[in-house]
Amino acid sequence: MNPAPTGVLLMAYGTPDTLDDVEPYYTHIRGGRQTTPELLAELADRYRLVGGRTPLSEVSEATRQALQDRLGDLFRVYLGMKHWRPWIKDAVAQMAADGIERAVGLVLAPHYSTMSIAQYYRYVEQAQEIAGSQIHLERIDSWYLHPPYLEAVTRRVRAALSRFPEGEPVTVVFTAHSLPERIVQAGDPYPEQLRETSEALARMLDLGDWTFSYQSAGRTPDPWLGPDIVGTVEALADRGARNILVAPIGFVSDHLEIFYDIDHEARQAAEARGVRLERTESLNASPDFIGGLAELVLSRSQSSAQS
């Protein structure tokens, strides 16, 4: 009798399928709390500006399928979204129904925070309780210095740098999603992990001119981590920079924070000051990225089997 395959719970943020889905999606992000009509309209306008939706759902499913193909029959890969369909709770319920006893959890975000990665796993715990599941889940909390991830980003930075005129100086700006400043006082490792990733990439690329900036801060009363990408672009322009490359190291897939915050908002700020702004290609479901994810899963599943 063949042993049951090891499950892989691949998790991503989620995105609304249509403009009509923006309100329930945003309400879920806010934990069920309604938002103001003005903020809802602003978010809907952002989706409308980038075509009404983003390819995040398709990219996440392509990533799941590619990872399944890479891992083979000894594993079964499931996809669960934190804020939209397919929900994490549905993925966990399907795993339980399929008889999965052991699984590896992997979030498509390299850096750990109690307000991001930890929240995914809280959803998993709730789903396990609802499903009455006894699946033993090995958690991958972060992979911000995983060599295949760093190498994949490095390749994309080099490719993007080649688009600028040869010999012209280019400032590389690494970015990630902002979080409320209160995480720093709580000792959250998120800012430090981002710093380590940025420094590792700068060494690998031998960058002489680079910096780090946050993006996509939430619209809440409490302060969020900065500086923001738009302010960074403006400050660099004021100091004489004429070429900027944005490398969003905190994001692996194309979605609103890529298309709006960088391609629209940051680029507008750059163009207003006569600055050329480019960004790196997202990892999405590319073979080099999938290979790195497979290494993470295999390593965690093997260490779990030996313990």
* CATH number for 250: 3.40.50.1400
Note whether 133 and 164 are same-domain residues: no
Residues 88, 187 within the same domain: no
- In angstroms, the CA 286 to CA 253 distance is 10
- Mean pLDDT for the stretch of residues 86-93: 97
Give a yes or no: residue 91 inside a domain.
Answer: yes
- Whether 47 has a pLDDT exceeding 80, the answer reads yes
Secondary structure class of 222 (helix, strand, coil): coil
pLDDT in tens, 142-184: 999 999 999 999 999 999 999 999 999 999 999 999 999 999 9
* Contact (Cβ atoms closer than 8 angstroms) between residue 73 and residue 81: no
**CB count in 10 Å sphere of residue 171:** 23
- Sequence letter at residue 210: W
Residue 248 main-chain phi, psi, to 5 deg: -80, 80
| Residues forming a β-bridge with 106 | 10, 140
Is residue 152 located within the same domain as residue 223?
Answer: yes
Neighbours of 230 (CB within 10 A): 16
Q: Are 68 and 134 within one domain?
A: yes
SS3 state at 255 = coil
Residue numbers of the domain that contains 164: 147-279
Which residue matches tokens 């710093």? Answer: 195
Residue 223 burial by Cβ neighbours in a 10 Å radius (0-12, 13-18, 19+): exposed
Give the pair of three-digit tokens for residue 277: 């702004």
pLDDT beyond 80 at 3: no
* Residue in the structure block whose two tokens are 């930890």: 118
**175 in the same domain as 242:** yes
Identify whether residues 14 and 76 lie together within a single domain.
yes
What pLDDT does 305 receive?
65
Band the pLDDT of 61: cuts 50, 70, 90.
very high
139 is a domain residue: yes
Same domain, 236 and 123: no
260: which residues sit within 8 A by CB, 6+ positions away?
46, 49, 50
Residue 57, token pair as written in the block: 């759902």
Question: Is residue 291 domain-shared with residue 235, that is, in the same domain?
Answer: no
Q: How far apart are CA 82 and CA 136, in angstroms?
A: 20
Against a cut of 0.85, is the pTM above it?
Answer: yes
Same structural domain for residues 188 and 70? no
In a domain, 232, yes or no: yes
Specify the long-range contacts of residues 19-22, CB closer than 8 Å, at least 24 apart: 19/44, 19/47, 19/48, 19/52, 19/53, 21/84, 22/47
pLDDT-derived band of residue 219, with 50, 70 and 90 as boundaries?
confident
Same domain, 96 and 71: yes
If asked whether residues 108 and 168 sit together in one domain, one would say: no
217, with CB counted inside 10 A (0-12, 13-18, 19+), is middle
Residue 1 domain flag: no
Let me know if residue 98 belongs to a domain. yes
Query: Is residue 120 included in any domain, yes or no?
Result: yes
- Tell whether the torsion through CA atoms of 17, 18, 24 and 27 is positive or negative: positive
In a domain, 126, yes or no: yes
Flag whether pLDDT at 119 surpasses 60: yes
Task: Render pLDDT for 255-274 as a digit per residue (tens, 0 to 9).
Answer: 999 999 999 999 999 999 99
Q: Is 80 helix (H, G, I), strand (E, B) or coil?
A: strand
Position 133 scores a pLDDT of 86
* pLDDT value of residue 27: 95
Burial of 58 per CB tally in 10 Å (0-12, 13-18, 19+) = middle
Host H or E run for residue 249:
none
The total number of structural domains in the chain stands at 2
Mean pLDDT for the chain overall:
96
Mean pLDDT value of segment 101-124 = 97
Residues 116 and 159 in one domain: no
